[in-house]
Amino acid sequence: MNVVDAIKARFSVRAYLDKPVEKELVYKILDIARFSPSGHNMQPWEVAVVMGKKKEELSQKLVEAVKNKAERKYDYFYGPKELPDIINRRRKQCNTLVFEHKNIDPKKDREKLMEHILENFRFFGAPVVLIIMREKELGEPSFIDLGLFGQSIMLTAVEFGLATCPQTSIAAYPYIIREVLGIPENKMIVYSIVLGYPDKDAHINKLRMPRDEVEVFTTFYE
């Protein structure tokens, strides 16, 4: 598969087959992604690969935290409550499309809404979770590097017939992730990427998000 096809084929998959991903394949994907660009070649990314019993333990602790309304404590500034209009429009459209596709009325179907939220912390049934981290005292530019690294992982996964879904939701509970995995305090939990074989028959995986045309976000200066 060429790069153009991989970019267009990739989407956030939210249902996976009960099929393990070999550790060697995960290693191969990371071995390719390590060639991602980074400012001054700092390569700030660090990865915790979570599988098997440890993944189940982490999932259980996160689900309990959400159900018990545990405090959300991101390691970084997650974002303002008031967003620019165009960004807010895209965000609301995403939520609306997902809820309509899953036949959920978020104002009335409280149980369905909670199950929808918990799917994030059950990692959508994927067998592998990649926790993407960096040193805390690096500054904001390193977030760019981690984004580039994540995209490399997700595009490489497409090459091997795997699917992914990036998540910032779990970063709301870094203290739980540190406790379960023994990660030191100086590491910032930034986001995760779930990895596995997609369930192509799952209803949720039929959904695709719209993208704005180039003219919407581009200005040419000549």
Q: How far apart are CA 26 and CA 6, in angstroms?
A: 18
pLDDT in tens, 30-75: 999 999 999 999 999 999 999 999 999 999 999 999 999 999 999 9
Rounded mean pLDDT, 110-126: 96
Q: In this predicted structure, what is the pLDDT of residue 80?
A: 87
Confidence of residue 133 (pLDDT cuts 50, 70, 90): very high
Look up residue 76 and give its two tokens.
Answer: 């970084």
Confidence of residue 153 (pLDDT cuts 50, 70, 90): very high
Give the alpha-carbon dihedral of 71, 124, 60, 190, to 10 degrees. -40
- With beta carbons less than 8 A apart as the criterion, state whether 47 and 158 touch: no
Strands 46-51 and 163-167: unpaired
State residue 103 phi and psi, 5-degree precision.
55, 50
Q: What is the DSSP string of 41-89?
A: G----EEEEEEHHHHHHHHHHHHHHHHTTPPP--SS----SSPPHHHHH
Rounded mean pLDDT, 198-217: 96
Look up residue 189 and give its two tokens.
Answer: 């939990």
Residue ranges per domain, the chain? 13-24+47-136+164-210
Q: How far apart are CA 129 and CA 53, in angstroms?
A: 12
Confidence of residue 79 (pLDDT cuts 50, 70, 90): confident
The stretches of 68-213 forming alpha helices (DSSP H) are: 85-101, 110-121, 141-159, 174-181
Burial-class residue 194 by CB neighbours within 10 Å (0-12, 13-18, 19+).
buried
pLDDT in tens, 154-184: 999 999 999 999 999 999 999 999 999 999 9
* Category of 186 on φ-ψ map: left (φ > 0), alpha (ψ -120 to 50) or beta: alpha
Q: In this predicted structure, what is the pLDDT of residue 196?
A: 98
Nearest to 148 by CA among 190, 178, 181: 190
Nearest to 162 by CA among 124, 120, 210, 194: 194
Q: How far apart are CA 98 and CA 136, in angstroms?
A: 33
Q: pTM for this one?
A: 0.95
Could you tell me which CATH number the domain at 13-24+47-136+164-210 has? 3.40.109.10
Q: In this predicted structure, what is the pLDDT of residue 81?
A: 85
Look up residue 7 and give its two tokens.
Answer: 């970019």
Per-residue pLDDT for 1 more than 90? no
Q: In this predicted structure, what is the pLDDT of residue 182?
A: 98
Per-residue pLDDT for 125 more than 90? yes
